[in-house]
Amino acid sequence: MKRRILFLAVACASLSWPAIEPSNRPERLEWFRDQGFGLFIHWSVDSQIGSVISHSMAGASEDYLRRYVSELPKTFNPRKFNPTDWAVLAKLAGIRYVVFTAKHHNGFAMFHTKTTGFGIGATPFQRDVTREILDAFRSQGIATLDRLDQDALQKACSTGQPLPAQVEQQLQANEQATIRWPDDGRYLGDWRAGERLAQSGRGMTWTDASAKPSANGAQCYNCHQIDRAEISYGTIGPSLWNYGKLRGVKSPGDPASAEVIRYTWGKLWDAKATVACSAMPRFGHAGLLDQNQLRDVMALLLDPASPVNR
C-alpha cells in the first residue's frame, strides 16, 4: 500500500499543469488605484438586528441558525431605502467608487437570483437592491469604469510582467530627458515650508482637481518616515530620516554635494526616470508641485538645519 501511495504522489507531481493566468486586468487595477476615496456599504438581511452582518452566525447554535435563515427574511422591509440619496451624499463627499456587499458570508443575496431561496426574493421588500444601488451611483458619475489615458511608460508598466532590461532602460532615458532643472539654478528653499508640504495630502485625490499646483501637498508622510518627531507615517517607501546626513551633505553649496542634490531633484521631478515602474508620483512631470514647492521639499530632505538631518 505504501508503494502505491508513493507512486501516485510521484505521478501527480510529474504532471505538467497549465500556467494560471491572473484574472485581474492590469489596466483596470491601475484605474482602481487612481480612484482614491471609496465607499464600502456593509448591509444585509441581519442589519435589522443591529449586528455586524454575518458575524453572529459564527459559533451560533443550530436553533439560532435555523431562525436566522427562516425568520429574518420575513421581516426585512427597508421602506426608507433610497440609494439615490446615498449616491448624492457620496458625490458631495468626493467619493469616487463604491463597494457593496451584494452577497456576504451568510449567503443572503441582495439581488434577484434563481440560484438560492435565501435572498431578497424571499422578503416583503422584493426590490433588486444591488441593481438600484448600481444605477443610483452610476447616475452620479461614481465608478463609471472610465479608463486612464496612459502614456507609453504607464502602458508598459501595466502589463503585470517585468520589463525587459532594454525596454526599461529606454523608458527611463525618455523620462530623464523630460526633467526640468531649476530655472534659476537654486535647488533648495525653506525646509519649514517643505515640512508643511510633506504633511499635506491635498491634490490629485478625491475632489482635488490640482488646477493650481500651489494648492497641493507633497503627501510625503503617506509613504515615508521623515522627521522622527512625527509618529504617523506610511512605510510603503524607505525611511528618509537623516536623508542628507547619510549621503554626506554637509553644505548644499559644496561641489561634493552636487551629485546627491541633482539626483534628489530628478527623483522628485520624475521618479520613473530612475525606476521605470516606480509607484512614486511624478511631482514635477505631472504638474503636482511647482519649482518653488520642490525646492522646499528638497530643503526638508537636504538642508543640514532641517530636523530631518539633526
| The pLDDT value given to residue 204 | 58
Residues 295 and 157 in one domain: yes
- The total number of structural domains in the chain stands at 2
Is the domain of 84 the same as that of 188? no
Q: Which of 82, 108, 139 delimits the end of a domain?
A: 139
- Reduce the DSSP state of residue 219 to 3 states and report it: coil
Q: What is the reported pLDDT for 262? A: 97
Asked whether 101 and 41 are in contact (CB, 8 A), the reply is yes
Does 3 map to a domain?
no
- 84, 118, 139 — which closes off a domain? 139
Q: What integer pLDDT is reported at residue 169 of this predicted model?
A: 95
* Residue 294 CB contacts under 8 Å (≥ 6 apart), including other chains: 265, 268, 269, 283, 284
Residues 32 and 75 in one domain: yes
Containing domain of residue 104, as a range? 26-139
The pLDDT of residue 170 is 95
Q: Find where cell 551633505 sits.
A: 249
CATH of the domain at 217: 1.10.760.10
User: Do 278 and 235 fall within a single domain?
Assistant: yes
- Tell whether 281 and 157 lie within a shared domain: yes
- What pLDDT score does 206 carry? 45
Classify residue 12: in a domain, yes or no. Answer: no
The answer on 298 and 183 residing in a single domain is: yes
Residue 4 in domain: no
Q: Is 138 exposed, middle or buried (0-12, 13-18, 19+ CB in 10 A)?
A: middle
Task: Report, as ranges of residue numbers, the positions in the chain whose pLDDT lies below 70.
Answer: 1-25, 28, 144-149, 203-211
169 belongs to a structural domain: yes
Assess whether 103 and 203 both reside in one domain.
no
Examine residue 16 and state whether it is found in any structural domain, yes or no.
Answer: no
Gap between the Cα atoms of 214 and 211, Å rounded: 9
pTM of the model: 0.56
Q: pLDDT tens, 128-155?
A: 999 999 999 999 988 765 445 678 888 8
Of the candidates 139, 165, 184, which is a domain's last residue? 139
Both 64 and 100 in a single domain? Answer: yes
Cell of 208: 482635488
pLDDT in the model for residue 34: 73
**Domain assignment of residue 14, yes or no:** no
Same-domain pairing of 168 and 131: no
Q: What are phi and psi of 119, to 5 degrees?
A: -165, -170
Other CB atoms within 10 Å distance of the CB of residue 181 = 12
In-domain check, residue 7: no
Does residue 258 form part of some domain? yes
Check residue 211 and give its pLDDT. 62
Q: Are 194 and 279 part of one and the same domain?
A: yes
Is the domain of 179 the same as that of 288?
Answer: yes
Backbone angles phi, psi at 308, to 5 degrees: -65, -30
Specify whether 200 is located in the same domain as 107: no
Only one residue has cell 492590469, namely 26
